[in-house]
Amino acid sequence: MTQHLPPPAPIDFSGDALFLDFDGTLVELADRPDGVIVGERLIATLHALSDRLNGRLALVSGRDIATLDGFGMAGLAIAGSHGAEWRLADGTVSETARPPGMDDARGRFEQFADTHGGVLFEDKPLGAALHYRMSPEWGQECRALAENLAQAHGFHVQHGHEMVELRRAGVDKGVAIADILKRAPFAGHRPVFLGDDVTDEAGFEQVARSGGHGVLIGTMRATAATFRLPDVSSVNEWLHHSLKGGPED
């Protein structure tokens, strides 16, 4: 991949609506989903940015909203579970019931994790995931099991960083961003979305359609993003620099 993408300009506090992936974008990936470290400075920065943007900041994550709230994100707008649920800063909520068949899939995933060392099962309110970062030799079998269950129940299979997840078909981060962009205080503003994973491409495509731009986090690859930052620490610096250096409004 030879294409070069420049770093984004600082946040425009009067015009931008900021959408932020969480894992691998704001915090470093961890071997276990509950192993991420969420620093006090990041929490304070996100809340300050949301205030400066008059509420036009939303986390857009594969994690569920309750988990992110537990990381100090309560009070922020959040699209959780890959877009299957969202909540705005004023408390407005859109939630979807757990899809039928998910209990069966959860049981099969849990059984697989119990019998394959190093594979972790993650139960989610609206989905289920297997993590094989600690035992990549089981990755192919994890993916095959997910594909079988998806076919049986009509789920969407989401492949991530050494993990595979089942969730309801028809929702993704792009759909969630589009839905949030229709509502106050986001409507009429330019969406900027930062993300690292293949699951974030739907978000990059959506913000481009809505007149905004995507920012790829990490090494260069084929992407719908038009800007790039190399890693989590550069994202944190960009957020912090925007907050300190942005024009007064």
> What per-residue string of b and e applies to 112-133 under the rule 16 or more CB within 10 Å gives b?
bbeebeebbbbebbbbbbbbbb
Q: Please name the amino acid found at residue 223.
A: T
Q: Which is nearer to Mg ion, 21 or 85 (CB)?
A: 21
- Using CB under 5 A as the binding rule, whether residue 160 contacts Mg ion is answered as no
Q: Tell me the C-alpha distance between 165 and 157, whole Å.
A: 6
Q: Which is nearer to Mg ion, 62 or 99 (CB)?
A: 62
Q: Please name the amino acid found at residue 71.
A: F
- Using CB under 5 A as the binding rule, whether residue 197 contacts Mg ion is answered as yes
Least distance between Mg ion and beta carbon 23 (Å): 4
For Mg ion, how many residues bind (rule: CB under 5 A)?
A: 5
Closest CA to 34 of 122, 106, 118: 122
- Cis amide prior to 185 (ω within 30 degrees): yes
Binding mask 3-42 for Mg ion (x = CB under 5 A): ------------------x-xx------------------
Q: Which of 16, 21, 196, 197 is catalytic?
A: 21
Q: Which is nearer to Mg ion, 165 or 196 (CB)?
A: 196
Is 21 marked active-site?
A: yes
By the 10 Å C-beta count (0-12 exposed, 13-18 middle, 19+ buried), 203 is classed as buried
- Using CB under 5 A as the binding rule, whether residue 196 contacts Mg ion is answered as yes
Q: Which is nearer to Mg ion, 172 or 196 (CB)?
A: 196
Q: What amino acid positions are annotated as catalytic residues?
A: 21
Where along the sequence are the contacts to Mg ion (CB under 5 A)? 21, 23-24, 196-197
